Structure 1
Amino acid sequence: MKIALLSYSTRPRGGVVHTLHLAEALAALGEDVTVWTLGRGGDTGFFRPVSPAVRLRIVPFPDRAPGPVAETVGERVLRSIATLRDAFDPAPYDIVHAQDCISANAVGRCVRTVHHIDHFTTPELAACHERALVEPHTHVCVSAAVAEELRAGWGRSAQVIPNGVAYDRFAATDPAARAGWRDRLGRYVLTVGGIEPRKGSLDLLEAYALLRAGHPGVRLVVAGGETLFDYRDYRARWDARAAELGVEPVLLGPVPDDRLPALVAAADAFAFPSRKEGFGLAAMEALAAGVPLVVRDLPVLREVFGPAARFATTPAHLAAALGRALTVEDPARRAAGRELAAAHTWAEAARRHLALYRSLRRPGALTPPAAAGP
């Protein structure tokens, strides 16, 4: 079967990580898989090496030449869609599977993975998001909570196929590499994903200020941050609030892929205060590494993490839960976390995707069904 998986970037965001692991697992099952994406800012490859069994098609997407008026987020979204649409030909493929709203808009009717449902204020992005929920012929969600949100809000049914986890990569990290991070950072609470509203970054900052009262030597470390969207105003609020609180988090930015597992494994706790999530892949990787996990109390995160995580709502609750994670040994919770992470394999995710793809090739399978009731 010839399969095209489409993403919007070569850089390490959750949907891109998902796309590459799924592509490699499908190729390992003997399928002919091509990943299409945009090469932003001169990128000619992904943030990590990709199995040679997977074909790569990286469409150049240069930055717009400087001018008197900067390109807006909306203009960049529309240019991204048009660039990928012009380059991509669906004809050679049996399955076209988009992983985000930009690639779904570029290819039209397709399989679409809805990783999470967001709400945007930029008109072009809001329209892109809406079309990418309504127009695909088939939907996949990585959790039942998101599938229910899609059904209730848009009348679309989805196949639930959870993410896999590169378990061994995070469970068996090099001791010297972990020690290197500890020598550099000391004791630390880690979060991965950058500084943005959806990640609950300001709440984590407030929680960290409270946490330091009882744990003055613990640092807050933030890794990651590549995104298409413009969060400069939010980042300015973060910086101003950090100064007001008298705290200095360590901002690593994107961390090289080969160094990320040791960074995660060396953390004393992992904070995941997202306001919107579909699964929480970075948090599941922390469980694979045996790191205590504190997440926001959301239905989707209750579904995914259950007894393996501590849950919190307000910054005060988040600080208290992180404090317990730093001081209370909980081998049962740690074991539950490792067991949960080990159960989520990319091989199983690929098998379930492949079963779905095969079902779509039956006669009449792509006849649009009546929308499910709200």
Structure 2
Amino acid sequence: MRIALTTYSTKPRGGVVHTLALAEALAAAGAEVSVWTLGRGGDRAFFRPVDPRVDVRVVEFAARDGEDVGERIVRSIEVLHAGFDPAGYDVVHAQDCISANAVGRCVRTVHHLDTFTTPQLAACHERAIVEPFAHVCVSGAVARELADGWGISATVIPNGVDAARFARADPGRWRDRFGRYVVAVGGIEPRKGSLDLLRALALLREELPDVRLVIAGGETLFDHRDYRVRFDRLAGELGVDPVVLGVVDEEELPGLVAGAAAMGFLSTKEGFGLAAMEALAAGVPLVTRELPVLREVFDGAALFAAEPPGMAQAFRSAIGTPDPDRVVRGRELAARHTWTAAARTHLELYRRLTDTHPGGSR
């Protein structure tokens, strides 16, 4: 079976990480897999090496000065559409809004649902939901949102995680560098709940003043500069001096996560929580927001809270009186989520779809 997976970037965002891991697992299962993406800022390859069994196609996307977010996304769709060649694939599977708009008839994974007020972005989001002929969600909670909002029935296929990579990580140099710290992965942006994380850390530090906040990641298409100004202002007001690392090298990330006293995963919207699952694989206590999707995925393995005071209390419990049984449950949960299983279920879906829809997604 020949499969094209499409994504919007070469950078280490959750959907891109998912796309590459799934592609490699599908190739290991015997499929012929191509990954198509846009090469932003001169990129000609992904943020990490990709299994040579996967055919990587990077479509050049030149930077353009003065372009706002809506214009950049519309141009992203146009450039990927012009560069993508669907010929010969049994299945074209888009992993995000941009590539779903760009590649035509396809299967679509809806990782999470967004709310946009800009007409261009709202229209892009809507088309990427209603036009694909089949849908995958990485959690039941998001599948229920699709069913309730659009009457769409999606196949639920949870993410995998490279649990062994995080379980064997050496945290030493990061602990030497930062001491006791809470880690957050994904950058500073509204969807990641970064302001609530600051507020929670300020409350936590009233009792545990040595705990630092370390934030990794942050590559995104959206312009969060105003939010970052608010974040920096609030950090100063609260007396929290976060360490903002930006994008961390792929080889360094497991050690950074494993060295943390806890992970703060306080997203306001999520589809699964891959970074949080990686923390559990490393044996790191997880504090996450009280959301249906995160309760579905992490119940029994994480501490949940809805507001900063409760989040601070959860961090206090996780760091001050860690629960070894919860750590064991977290490691076991991560170990059950394999990319091999995810690839097998995807292949079963693809076979059903190609039997039902001759010609697949072309």
TM range (shorter): over 0.9
Contact 1:270/1:293 (8 A) holds in 2: yes
Aligned to 1:270: 263
Contact 2:285/2:322 (8 A) holds in 1: no
Aligned to 1:307: 300
Aligned to 2:31: 31
Describe the SS at the equivalent of 1:304: helix
Q: Once the two structures are superposed, what CA deviation does each residue of 1:212-251 show, in whole Å capped at 9, x if it has no partner?
A: 1001001001000000001111111111111111211000
Aligned to 2:273: 280
Matched to 2:131, the amino acid is E
Instruction: Calculate the TM-score normalised by the size of structure 2.
Output: 0.98
CA 1:108 to 1:364, structure 2 compared with 1: closer, same or farther past 3 Å? closer
Structure 1 residue 325 displacement after superposition: 0.4
Aligned to 2:74: 78
CA 1:143 to 1:365, structure 2 compared with 1: closer, same or farther past 3 Å? farther
Contact 1:109/1:137 (8 A) holds in 2: yes
Distance 1:319 1:221 in 2: 16
Distance 1:362 1:222 in 2: 46
Structure 1 residue 366 displacement after superposition: 8.4
Distance 1:76 1:189 in 2: 34
Alignment of 1:55-70 (within 5 A): 55-64=55-64, 66=65, 70=66
Contact 2:142/2:293 (8 A) holds in 1: yes
**Counterpart selection for 2:139 from 140, 143, 150:** 143
- Identify the range of structure 1 (337-346 vs 324-333) with the bigger mean alpha-carbon deviation: 324-333
RMSD: 1.2
Aligned to 2:309: 316
Unaligned runs of 5+ in 1: 369-374
Alignment of 1:1-374 (within 5 A): 1-64=1-64, 66=65, 70-174=66-170, 178-364=171-357
Distance 2:229 2:266 in 1: 19
Distance 1:39 1:185 in 2: 34
Q: Where in structure 1 do 4 or more consecutive aligned residues deviate above 2 Å? A: 363-368
Describe the SS at the equivalent of 1:362: helix
Identical positions, percent: 68
Count of residues in Structure 1 that have an aligned counterpart in Structure 2 = 361
Structure 1 residue 125 displacement after superposition: 1.4
Unaligned runs of 5+ in 2: none
CA 1:281 to 1:44, structure 2 compared with 1: closer, same or farther past 3 Å? same
Structure 1 residue 361 displacement after superposition: 1.1
Structure 1 residue 124 displacement after superposition: 1.3
Contact 1:137/1:366 (8 A) holds in 2: no
Structure 1 residue 122 displacement after superposition: 2.2
Q: Once the two structures are superposed, what CA deviation does each residue of 1:160-197 show, in whole Å capped at 9, x if it has no partner?
A: 000000010000113xxx11111111110001000111
Matched to 1:159, the amino acid is T
Instruction: Calculate the TM-score normalised by the size of structure 1.
Output: 0.95
